[in-house]
A = this chain, B = another copy of it.
Amino acid sequence: MKKIINAPKDVVEEMVAGLVGAYPDYVKQLPDTMVVARSDDYDQVALVSGGGSGHEPAHAGFVGDGMLSAAVCGQVFTSPTPDQIYEAIKATDKGKGTLLIVKNYSGDVMNFDMAKDLAAMDDIEVASVLVDDDIAVEDSTYTQGRRGVAGTVLVHKILGSLAKEGKPLAELAEYGTALVQDIKTVGVALSGATVPEVGKPGFVLAEDEMEYGVGIHGEPGYRREKIKPSKEIAAEIIGKLKAEFNWQKGDTYGLFVNGMGATPLMELFIYFNDAKNILAEEGIELAFTKVGNYMTSLDMAGASITMIKLDDERTRLLQAPVHTIAW
């Protein structure tokens, strides 16, 4: 393992210190926690997300006006503990309740639920939205059902902008739950990620091999084969998404190409270009497009394609101004 780190056990603590140290105008760390919260004041329903670390800039990079109120940073690829999530809820609640945005992993679901129970004892109103956008496989290493991956970032953005506009908690939860049904993602990996405390990659691919449908913790996908040109990979993934969405010519979508951490922007733009061209042939209108490293998997090479079904309101909310480190 070759990484720019100190002791592997300290990576999350030092990463959070670096993040809040670099961007104090955006975020602050809640004392004695691994919670990164907005450093400015606000008066709205609070949005709290988080999960295991190793997916940077998710989620702390999306804390700020128009997105999250706080992000809870667990250990690498490990759900944050209920007490940490509870601290985030307590600190961000402005008397209007808190919406939890949770990626669908068994540990996250359980711990965010327990935190919700703790907050209920303080009479803080809490609701949650579960994100399970990864259509590559049903059930997985750490999941019942489908995994929550890069589409979560779009949920942060849309619900964050809605919350800023003053939407109450119950309506936000309802809106979010419907929204998640219209966001779908499939990833591909060219290499595995190395968790610092493990010291070797979670899986190994041959020098000419790739894997379709890998999760953001290296969970198995649905097929390994020799690497193909970007156009062919994009055609396969868009085909998967089409089968799920069942779209019609003229439908409007957003297209989001996300890097896994070690794949350079050049490749992401090429991959995006191929996906966009295929969608043009399909007669799909794109009202929103985004390319970059947003929901990563440490040093994994690879990329995911997320599509979201759009109407005017969702498009407006995606495009609304925001003040975060990473959106």
CB pair B5 A210 closer than 8 Å = no
Given contacts A6-B229, A230-B4, contact A276 B21 (CB under 8 A): yes
A2 to B16, CA, bound (A): 32
CB pair B56 A15 closer than 8 Å = no
A1-40 vs B: 1/0 string, CB under 8 Å?
Answer: 0111111000100111111011100000000000000000
CB pair B273 A14 closer than 8 Å = yes
Chain B neighbourhood of A229, CB < 8 A: 5-7
Chain B neighbourhood of A290, CB < 8 A: 22
Residue A170 is within 8 A (CB to CB) of chain B in the complex:
no
CB pair B263 A22 closer than 8 Å = no
Among the listed B4, B191, B265, B269, which residue makes an inter-chain contact with A270, where contact means beta carbons less than 8 Å apart?
Answer: B4
Number of copies: 2
- In the complex, chain A residues 214-268 whose Cβ is within 8 Å of any chain B Cβ: 227, 229-231, 233, 257, 261-268
Chain B neighbourhood of A57, CB < 8 A: 265
CB pair A56 B293 closer than 8 Å = no
Residue A299 is within 8 A (CB to CB) of chain B in the complex:
yes
Chain B neighbourhood of A190, CB < 8 A: 2-4
Given contacts A6-B230, A190-B2, A293-B293, contact A18 B303 (CB under 8 A): no
A214 to chain B, nearest CB (A): 14
- Residue of B whose beta carbon sits closest to that of A256: B22
Q: Which DSSP category, helix, strand, loop or mixed, fits chain A's interface? A: mixed
Residues of A within 8 A of B (CB-CB), count: 59
A274-295 vs B: 1/0 string, CB under 8 Å?
Answer: 1010000000000001110100
A196 to chain B, nearest CB (A): 9
Enumerate 16 A-B pairs (CB-CB under 8 Å) in ascending A order: A2-B208, A2-B301, A4-B233, A4-B267, A4-B270, A4-B303, A5-B229, A14-B273, A17-B269, A18-B269, A21-B272, A21-B289, A53-B266, A56-B264, A262-B301, A265-B293
For the A-B complex with A4-B233, A21-B289, A265-B296 known, give 20 more contacts whose Cβ atoms are closer than 8 Å.
A2-B209, A3-B190, A4-B263, A4-B302, A5-B229, A5-B267, A6-B230, A11-B270, A18-B272, A18-B276, A21-B272, A22-B257, A56-B264, A56-B265, A261-B262, A261-B265, A262-B264, A265-B293, A266-B298, A299-B301
